[in-house]
Structure 1
Amino acid sequence: MELTVLNETQSASSGGCSSSGCGSTDDQLSHLPDDIKQKVHNHPCYSEEAHHYFARMHVAVAPACNIQCHYCNRKYDCANESRPGVVSELLTPDQAVMKTKAVAANIPQMTVLGIAGPGDPLANPERTFETFRRLSQEAPDIKLCVSTNGLALPDAVEELAKHNIDHVTITINCVDPEIGAQIYPWIYWNNRRIRGKKGAKILIEQQQKGLEMLVARGILVKVNSVMIPGVNDQHLKEVSRIVKQKGAFLHNVMPLISEAEHGTFYGVMGQRGPSNEELMDLQDECSGDMNMMRHCRQCRADAVGLLGEDRGDEFTLDKIAEMDIDYEAAMKKRAVIHQGIAEELAEKEKKRAALAAVKVPSGPAADNTHFRPVLMAVATSGGGMINQHFGHATEFLIYEASSNGVRFISHRKVDQYCIGNDTCGEKESALSGSIRALSGCEVVLCSKIGFEPWGLLEEAGIQPNGEHAMEPIEEAVMAVYEEMIATGRLDEAKPENAQISA
C-alpha cells in the first residue's frame, strides 16, 4: 500500500492524494477501472499493498536469450546470488507444473506464477507456452505472468492472449538507439546477430510495437527499466513518459546490479550502480508521468515466496517428488485464506482512511504548519506489520512520513546481523553495513533490538524504536512522526545524514 503524499508542486493526477484524501486502497491503482483493479489487487509485483500478503514464484523453463545486455550474466546453481538470470534448477514444462502445484499447496498465499528466465521466455516459446497451457488447465486459480525483453513480443501477443496471460512485463531501458547501443552489444534477429545501434533500433521498435498490441488487447503491462548512471539515468524520464502514453500501467525503475563478482560486462568494466538517493530521486521525477513500482526485489528466475524472501530450497525437485499433493483440496484451502486476507485488508483500509483524514495531530500542527518529511526504516517479515527483530532483518522497508501522510519509498537489502555462532568480525561487519544502508533515515522501527546496535544507530543519528511492535506499519510510522512534531524534534536543523525526497 502506498500512501501518496503531495507537496506543493504535485497534483492528484501525478499519483498524489485525491480530493477524498490520502490513503485510499492502493492509490497507485485507484484511478483504474474495477476490472483492472481486480486483476492486480492480489498480485505482489503489481500492487505494493499486495506484496505484504501474497507470494509469487518463478519457474525457470526458458534458458535461451535473443539479446545480450551489458548488465546480465545468466548463472546456474548459484545459491548465493539474488538477482535476475540466476537459477539453481532448469525445469522442463512437466517439472514446472509439478513444482507450481507443490508450492501453491504449501504456500497458500501464492497467487502468481511467472516465467522470467533465466533467458527470455519468448525466445523459448515451446517451453514457455506448454507450461502456461498446462497450468491454465491444472491450476486455474493461479495468475500467469511473463517477463520479456520484447524482441519477440509482437509475434507472441496472440498466443499470450490465448493462454489468458493478462499481466506482461517488458524491460525497456531506452527509446533512443544511441543509448541502446551502450546497453545491448547485440540482438539475435531473423537468424542473424545484429550489433550496435542497428540492433538497438530493432529492439526498441519491437518493444514499442508489442506494448501497443498488448494494451489493445486489454493485457496489463508493467515496464521495467534498469537505471544505469551516466548511460540512461536521465533518459528514463522520457521512457516513462512514452510508455505511459502508450498505455503501460506501471513503471519499475530498478538499480543496476554491478558488483564485479557477478561477472557482467558492466561489473568487470567498473560501471557503478546508483545510490539509494539517486534511485529515489529518479523514481520521484518519473512518477509525474507514470505510476511507480518501488517494492521490486529484482528476483531470481526461480524465486519462491513473498517478495524479499526466497523459499526455493524447500521445493527442489527431489523434495517435491516426496510430496503427496491433493491440488483440488489445496485450492479450497487457498480460497479460504485469500478471503481472510481480503477481509483483513478491508479492515485496514477503514483504519487507514481514518488516519488519512487526521493527517497530523493537534498542537504543533494545528496552525497548518508544514513540517519537513522524515524517512523511517522498518523491519518486517510481512503482513504489513512491524514484526521483525533488527538483527534478523535482511532488508528494511523505507517509508516517508510528512504532514500529509505516509508513503512507501523503497527497500534496502542488508546482511543479517544476528548470525548465530559466526565470528565477531562478521557480525560487526554486518552491523556496520546495516547502518550504512540506513543512511538518510532518522528512525528505525523494529520489534526488538539489542543494546549494541541501539547505541551505534544513535551515534549515526538514527533513533531506534521498538515501541510499536506488532502494529501496522503506516499507523506506527505516523505515530512516531506525530511524536517528533509534538516534542519539537522537527523544529531542529535537519540531521546531516537525513535525505528528503522531492
Structure 2
Amino acid sequence: MLELKVLGDHDHAEAEVPQGGCSSGSCGSTDDQLNHLPESIRQRVYNHPCYSEQAHHHFARMHVAVAPACNIQCNYCNRKYDCANESRPGVVSELLTPKQAVKKTIAVAANIPQMTVLGIAGPGDPLANPVRTFSTFRMLTEQAPDIKLCVSTNGLSLPDYADELTKHNIDHVTITINCVDPEVGAKIYPWVFWENERIRGVEGAKILIERQQRGLEMLVERDILVKVNSVMLPGINDHHLAEVSRIVKSKGAFLHNVMPLIAEPEHGTYFGLMEQRGPTPKELQDLQDECSGDMNMMRHCRQCRADAVGLLGEDRGAEFTMDKIEAMEIDYEAAMVKRKRVHDAINAELAKDNAQPANANADQMIPAGTRPVLMAIASQGGGLVNQHFGHAKEFLVYEASSEGVRFISHRKTDLYCTGGDTCGDGDSLLGGIIKSLEGCEAVLCSKIGYEPWETLENAGIIPNGEHAMERIEDAVWAVYVEMYQNGKLTEQSSSLTA
C-alpha cells in the first residue's frame, strides 16, 4: 500500500497507543518529562504532528481556509487569498465556505489516511469569524468524528469563545503570544479592533495581552491543551520571549513554539518593507534553548499556510482544490476502515521504536564535555534517512552530544535536482544550499552525487550516504561516534570557523 511505504516491510499487528509517543528530544522535552504526563494527555499528544516531534514524521495535518477576517494587525502579516506560491501563515489559494471545508476535509482524510488533525488557522483569525468557524467544526464533528479538531488564534476574542470551543470537542488550541509587555506589543501590533473601535499603540497592545492571558487561563481551566506560538523579532522581542515563556508556562500552557520571522520584501508585510531582519539559525536555537528551561519547546514547526495539506514540511494542497474534489467519489465509511488500518500500522511502528534504546549505538559512550555537532538530514518522512541529497527541499537539523541526539530545527533550501539532466546550477545553487546548512558539520542522505559531495567536503561539511533507511537518531549517533573515534571532535570544524 502506498501509504505504508515509509513504515518499512515489517508485518504490522494491531498495537496499543505508544506510551508517550515521543523519542528523545521530541515534544521539546525529555522522555522522563513525557512519562510523567497523565495518560489522558499522552493520548492526545502522541499522534498530533504539531504537539509531538516524533508524530510529525508519521501523521499528517490539514488546515481549511474559512476565516478571512482578522481583528488585529500584525506588522509581520499580509494575508493573501489567491496565492499558490508563498509558504507562510496567512496565505491561501482559495477561500472556502464551511460546507466546502467539510467536503475537502473528508476528501483529504480518505486519500491521506495518515491525516489525524484538522485545524482552522486563518487566513484571518478563526474567532473573528465565529459563525464560519463553528459551523465547520459542528459539521466535522458529525461527519468525521475520528479527526482531531484544532484552532489557532491571536487570542483577542478567545475569552468570549472558550466555552464554545469545549462544545466541539476541541482540545488543542494555539495562541500566538509575542509579548507580555504593551510597550513591546506596540512595536508589533499597529492596532486591534476591540468593541467596535480601532485601538492603536500601547493601549491596543495592552488589551490584546490581557485578553490573551485570560483566554489561556480559561482554556487550561477547561482541560484544553494550549500551544503558544511566538514570532522571534530580533531587536524587538528577542530578549523578551524568555519572559513570555516563563509566564505562559506558569499559567499552564503545554508547549511553546518560538518561530523565526518571515519577512521577505516581496511578501508585502510592514516588517518586510522596512527590512526588519529575521533571526539566524543560531540565534533561534539559542533562544529556544533559553526558553526550554521553563517550557516544552516545539522545534519542528513549518509555519504552515492557512490551507496546508499533508505531512509537516510538504504541501499537497494542489491535489485537493475544490474543482478536483467535486469530481471525487468518496465512501467515507470505507475510508475510515482504511484509516484505522493505517493508524494501527503506524502505532505498531512507533511502539517498536519506543521499545528500542534512544540510540542503537548507546553502548558507545562519549565523554561528558565533548563538543556537540549539528548534522543535516535528508528525509521524506518516517523518521528515517531516506532521501537523495538532490531531492531535498529542506533538511532536518539534529544535534549530537555526549548526552544523546536531539532534534533542533529544519532548514528550507532550493531543490538541487529538478529532473532529467538538470541537477544543480553549478557553484551558485550549491553555494546557496551550503549557506542554508551553516553550522552543520555533516549531511546524511540516502544518496548523493559526486559534484555536491566534493563541494560539501570543500566547505567543511562531511557528506554521508552510509546510513540509508536507518532511524535518524541511530544514524546521527553512529556518525558522531565515528567523528569522535577519528579525533574530529577535538577541534572546531572549518564549517563553524569559516
User: TM-score, normalized by length of structure 1?
Assistant: 0.92
Q: Tell me the distance in 1 between the aligned counterparts of 2:154 and 2:359.
A: 42
Q: Which amino acid aligns with 2:97?
A: T
Q: Is the CA contact (8 Å cut-off) linking 1:122 and 1:128 kept in structure 2?
A: yes
Partner of 2:237: 232
Q: Tell me the distance in 2 between the aligned counterparts of 1:16 and 1:330.
A: 34
Q: Is the CA contact (8 Å cut-off) linking 1:360 and 1:482 kept in structure 2?
A: no
Partner of 2:4: none
Identity score, percent: 72
Q: Is the CA contact (8 Å cut-off) linking 1:71 and 1:265 kept in structure 2?
A: yes
Q: Is the CA contact (8 Å cut-off) linking 1:380 and 1:388 kept in structure 2?
A: yes
Partner of 1:171: 176
User: For the aligned residues, what is the CA RMSD?
Assistant: 1.8
Q: How does 1:415-434 map to 2 (within 5 A)?
A: 415-420=414-419, 426=425, 428-434=427-433
For residues 372 and 210 of structure 1, do their structure 2 counterparts lie closer, same or farther at Cα, with a shift above 3 Å needed? same
1:339 aligned to 333, 338, 344, which one?
A: 344
Partner of 2:24: 3
Cα distance, 1:32 vs. partner? 1.6
Q: Is the CA contact (8 Å cut-off) linking 1:305 and 1:311 kept in structure 2?
A: yes
* 2:294 aligned with 1:273: no
Query: Residue 240 of structure 1: SS of its match in structure 2?
Result: helix
Q: Tell me the distance in 1 between the aligned counterparts of 2:401 and 2:42.
A: 27
1:154 aligned to 126, 141, 159, which one?
A: 159
Q: 1:132-169 CA distances to partner (integer Å, 9 max, x unpaired)?
A: 00000000000000000000000000100001110000
Q: Which amino acid aligns with 2:308?
A: A
Q: Is the CA contact (8 Å cut-off) linking 1:54 and 1:306 kept in structure 2?
A: yes
Q: Is the CA contact (8 Å cut-off) linking 2:29 and 2:297 kept in structure 1?
A: no
* 2:477 aligned with 1:498: no
Query: Residue 489 of structure 2: SS of its match in structure 1?
Result: helix
Query: Residue 411 of structure 1: SS of its match in structure 2?
Result: strand
* 2:317 aligned with 1:312: yes
Cα distance, 1:351 vs. partner? 1.7
Query: Residue 347 of structure 1: SS of its match in structure 2?
Result: helix
Q: Tell me the distance in 2 between the aligned counterparts of 1:48 and 1:360.
A: 25
Partner of 1:486: 485
Query: Residue 220 of structure 2: SS of its match in structure 1?
Result: helix
Query: Residue 318 of structure 1: SS of its match in structure 2?
Result: helix
Partner of 1:361: 364
* 2:297 aligned with 1:297: no
For residues 405 and 190 of structure 1, do their structure 2 counterparts lie closer, same or farther at Cα, with a shift above 3 Å needed? same
* 2:470 aligned with 1:449: no
Q: Tell me the distance in 2 between the aligned counterparts of 1:99 and 1:429.
A: 40
Cα distance, 1:4 vs. partner? 3.8
Q: Is the CA contact (8 Å cut-off) linking 1:2 and 1:408 kept in structure 2?
A: no
Q: How does 1:253-264 map to 2 (within 5 A)?
A: 253-264=258-269
Cα distance, 1:483 vs. partner? 1.0
Query: Residue 236 of structure 2: SS of its match in structure 1?
Result: coil
Q: Is the CA contact (8 Å cut-off) linking 2:114 and 2:339 kept in structure 1?
A: yes
User: TM-score, normalized by length of structure 2?
Assistant: 0.93
* 2:125 aligned with 1:125: no
Partner of 2:10: none
Query: Residue 267 of structure 1: SS of its match in structure 2?
Result: helix
Partner of 1:77: 82
Cα distance, 1:482 vs. partner? 1.0
Partner of 2:357: 352
Q: Is the CA contact (8 Å cut-off) linking 1:60 and 1:118 kept in structure 2?
A: yes
Structure 1: which 5+ runs fail to align? 6-13, 18-23
Q: Is the CA contact (8 Å cut-off) linking 1:223 and 1:252 kept in structure 2?
A: yes
Q: Is the CA contact (8 Å cut-off) linking 1:165 and 1:219 kept in structure 2?
A: yes
Q: 1:161-193 CA distances to partner (integer Å, 9 max, x unpaired)?
A: 001110000000000000000000000000010
Cα distance, 1:426 vs. partner? 4.5
Partner of 1:20: none
Q: Tell me the distance in 2 between the aligned counterparts of 1:379 and 1:186.
A: 42
For residues 423 and 386 of structure 1, do their structure 2 counterparts lie closer, same or farther at Cα, with a shift above 3 Å needed? closer
Q: 1:319-358 CA distances to partner (integer Å, 9 max, x unpaired)?
A: 0011110001111110111011011011111223464xx6
Q: Tell me the distance in 2 between the aligned counterparts of 1:427 and 1:412.
A: 21
Cα distance, 1:369 vs. partner? 4.9
Query: Residue 86 of structure 1: SS of its match in structure 2?
Result: coil
Q: Tell me the distance in 2 between the aligned counterparts of 1:456 and 1:29.
A: 41
Runs of 4+ deviating beyond 4 Å: 14-17, 421-428
Q: Tell me the distance in 2 between the aligned counterparts of 1:497 and 1:3.
A: 26
1:220 aligned to 221, 225, 229, which one?
A: 225
Cα distance, 1:484 vs. partner? 1.1
Q: Is the CA contact (8 Å cut-off) linking 2:388 and 2:447 kept in structure 1?
A: yes
Q: Is the CA contact (8 Å cut-off) linking 2:358 and 2:473 kept in structure 1?
A: no
Partner of 2:38: 33
Cα distance, 1:268 vs. partner? 0.2
Q: 1:207-265 CA distances to partner (integer Å, 9 max, x unpaired)?
A: 00000000000000000000000000010000000000000000000000011010000
Query: Residue 295 of structure 1: SS of its match in structure 2?
Result: coil
- Structure 1 window deviating more from structure 2 (416-425 vs 473-482): it is 416-425
* 2:200 aligned with 1:195: yes
For residues 498 and 125 of structure 1, do their structure 2 counterparts lie closer, same or farther at Cα, with a shift above 3 Å needed? same
Q: Tell me the distance in 2 between the aligned counterparts of 1:231 and 1:422.
A: 46
Q: Tell me the distance in 1 between the aligned counterparts of 2:68 and 2:265.
A: 23
Q: Tell me the distance in 2 between the aligned counterparts of 1:424 and 1:114.
A: 37
Q: Tell me the distance in 1 between the aligned counterparts of 2:126 and 2:72.
A: 12
Q: Tell me the distance in 2 between the aligned counterparts of 1:88 and 1:390.
A: 30
Q: Which amino acid aligns with 1:218?
A: D
Give the paired residue count.
476
For residues 353 and 426 of structure 1, do their structure 2 counterparts lie closer, same or farther at Cα, with a shift above 3 Å needed? closer
Partner of 1:373: 372
2:257 aligned to 252, 258, 280, which one?
A: 252
Q: How does 1:438-477 map to 2 (within 5 A)?
A: 438-477=437-476
Query: Residue 346 of structure 1: SS of its match in structure 2?
Result: helix
2:188 aligned to 183, 186, 196, which one?
A: 183
For residues 15 and 43 of structure 1, do their structure 2 counterparts lie closer, same or farther at Cα, with a shift above 3 Å needed? closer
For residues 419 and 428 of structure 1, do their structure 2 counterparts lie closer, same or farther at Cα, with a shift above 3 Å needed? farther
Q: Which amino acid aligns with 1:388?
A: Q
Q: Tell me the distance in 1 between the aligned counterparts of 2:315 and 2:275.
A: 29
Q: Is the CA contact (8 Å cut-off) linking 2:424 and 2:430 kept in structure 1?
A: no
Cα distance, 1:403 vs. partner? 1.3
Q: Is the CA contact (8 Å cut-off) linking 2:388 and 2:446 kept in structure 1?
A: yes
Q: Is the CA contact (8 Å cut-off) linking 1:86 and 1:118 kept in structure 2?
A: yes
Q: Tell me the distance in 2 between the aligned counterparts of 1:278 and 1:174.
A: 18
For residues 334 and 424 of structure 1, do their structure 2 counterparts lie closer, same or farther at Cα, with a shift above 3 Å needed? closer
Cα distance, 1:486 vs. partner? 1.7
Q: Which amino acid aligns with 1:269?
A: M
Query: Residue 173 of structure 2: SS of its match in structure 1?
Result: strand
